[in-house]
């Protein structure tokens, strides 16, 4: 299992339900699971929890109960993601698992004074583990119920499984500077293979990216 020295921003910038699924991904050195490694999980989770409106201390995020709870939600989100993004019915077990997580820590509307006005907020009762599980489950339900779920893609690099919701319809890679570059290098190699080898691409000239069009021949 490979480890990261820092959490790449790509793992903290998609809708929280996709970020959760993306905590398990593949790099040339092997599979990475941020949730398996205490330090990486803590770093990722304290950043991601803020997006869910849940304050998670590092000590709290480090607990085994938190790890188990969010891993369980991740399994349900991962099982539902592929069918949902293709307009198919997700497994009943995945949806009921998300609903159970939601019921365990319901969001309760609260009236608060912010110093100048009464503002509406929501609060969840329960342990940090159940609140985080419910927060991710709610984010997943929002994503799956949004018509934009049909736009969710996996990175076009063959060995990359990162899922993302593209703001730009032409986006093909999780990160152009990672998978985009790898693919350009691979295409360059294929174009410049020695003549005695089969060349699946018609041209043997040009530099990486010389066609100037990301996405040519794909999608």
Interface with Zn ion (CB under 5 A): 155, 157, 160, 162, 174, 179
Question: With respect to Zn ion, which residue has the nearer C-beta, 20 or 174?
Answer: 174
Closest to Zn ion by CB, 136 vs 164, is 164
Minimum separation from the CB atom of position 162 to Zn ion (A): 5
Contact 207, 195 (CB under 8 A): no
Least distance in angstroms from the C-beta of 34 to Zn ion = 16
Q: How far is the CB of 121 from Zn ion (least distance, A)?
A: 36
Of residues 27 and 207, the one with the C-beta less far from Zn ion: 27
Q: Is 89 helix (H, G, I), strand (E, B) or coil?
A: coil
Phi, psi of 192 (to 5 degrees): -110, 15
- Write down the least CB distance from residue 86 to Zn ion, Å: 20
SS3 217: coil
Least distance to Zn ion from the beta carbon of 172, Å? 9
Tell me which residue of 173, 136, 117, 143 sits closest to 54, measured CA to CA.
Answer: 136
**Cβ atoms of residues 89 and 83 within 8 Å:** yes
CA distances from 53 to 16, 18, 56 (A): 11, 17, 10
Minimum distance from residue 184 beta carbon to Zn ion (Å): 13
Nearest residue (CB) to Zn ion, 91 versus 176: 176
- Whether 162 contacts 22, CB under 8 Å: yes
Of 10 and 98, CB closest to Zn ion: 10
- CA neighbours within 13 Å on the CB side: how many for 208? 10
Tokens representing residue 153 in the block: 């893609």
Strands 163-164, 24-27: pairing is unpaired
Q: Which is nearer to Zn ion, 18 or 104 (CB)?
A: 18
């Amino acid at each position: 299992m490979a480890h990261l020295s820092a959490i790449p921003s790509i793992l903290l910038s998609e809708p929280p339900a996709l970020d959760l699924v993306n905590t398990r991904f593949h790099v040339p050195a092997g599979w990475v699971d941020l949730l398996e490694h205490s330090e990486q999980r803590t770093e990722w989770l304290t950043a991601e929890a803020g997006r869910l409106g849940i304050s998670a201390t590092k000590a709290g995020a480090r607990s085994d109960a938190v790890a188990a709870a969010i891993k369980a939600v991740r399994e349900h989100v991962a099982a539902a993601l592929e069918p949902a993004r293709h307009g198919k019915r997700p497994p009943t077990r995945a949806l009921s698992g998300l609903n159970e997580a939601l019921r365990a820590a319901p969001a309760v509307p609260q009236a608060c004074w912010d110093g100048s006005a009464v503002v509406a907020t929501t609060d969840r009762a329960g342990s940090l583990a159940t609140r985080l599980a419910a927060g991710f489950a709610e984010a997943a339900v929002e994503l799956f119920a949004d018509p934009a779920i049909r736009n969710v893609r996996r990175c076009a690099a063959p060995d990359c499984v990162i899922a993302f919701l593209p703001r730009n319809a032409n986006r093909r890679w999780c990160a152009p500077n990672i998978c985009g570059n790898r693919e350009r290098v691979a295409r360059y190699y294929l174009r410049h293979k020695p003549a005695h080898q089969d060349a699946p691409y018609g041209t043997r000239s040009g530099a990486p990216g010389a066609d100037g069009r990301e996405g040519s021949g794909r999608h």
